[in-house]
Amino acid sequence: MALDDFEFVIEELSRRIVAMYADPNLDAIPGICAVESPCEELYTAQMSDFIDRGERTEGESANDVTDFEIVGFDEETLEESAAVVIRYTIAPVGENLGAIVDSNGDVVTQLVVENPNDPVDGQMNLVRNNEPGLPWRIVTQQ
C-alpha cells in the first residue's frame, strides 16, 4: 500500500459515515469500524437511536483531507503492520453542515460547528481488514 493511499482511506471512511447517517443502517457499520471496537460500539448506539426516532441527516458532505501524518504502526514497516495511527487535517467545512431531519423531512436539528472556516485536526487508529477496495477500519477516532 502506497503511503498516499491514507488520504483516500480517510476520505472513503468519511463518505461511508455520511452515507450511513443519511440512510441509518446497522449493516453499514462493518464497512467503517473494526469488529468489537469503540467505533463499532459508538455507531451502533447512534444508528440505533436514529432508527428508533426515524431520523437521518440531509445535506451533509464528506470531508476533504488536506494533510495527514502516520504517527505510529505496530510492526517494523507499515507494509507489515496490522494497525496504524494517522493524524490528519480536513478542509474547513463551511457554514452548511446539513441537518438531522425526521421521517417527514422536517428539520430536528441544524448541524453546526464552532469555527466553520477553520481546518479541523483529527486522529484515527486503524486496523487492517480483508476488503480489497478499503483495507482499513476505524478502531477509535478523535
What pLDDT is attached to residue 114?
79
Q: What is the CATH number of the domain that holds 59?
A: 3.10.450
95, HSE (Cβ side, Cα atoms, 13 Å): 0
pLDDT at 3 over 50: no
Q: Tell me the pLDDT tens digit for each residue of 94-142.
A: 776 889 999 999 999 998 877 778 888 999 999 998 888 888 999 999 9
The domain in which residue 68 lies consists of: 5-141
Q: Tell me the pLDDT tens digit for each residue of 42-73.
A: 999 999 999 999 999 999 888 889 999 999 99
Reading phi first (left if > 0) and then psi (alpha if -120 to 50, else beta), residue 66 is in: alpha
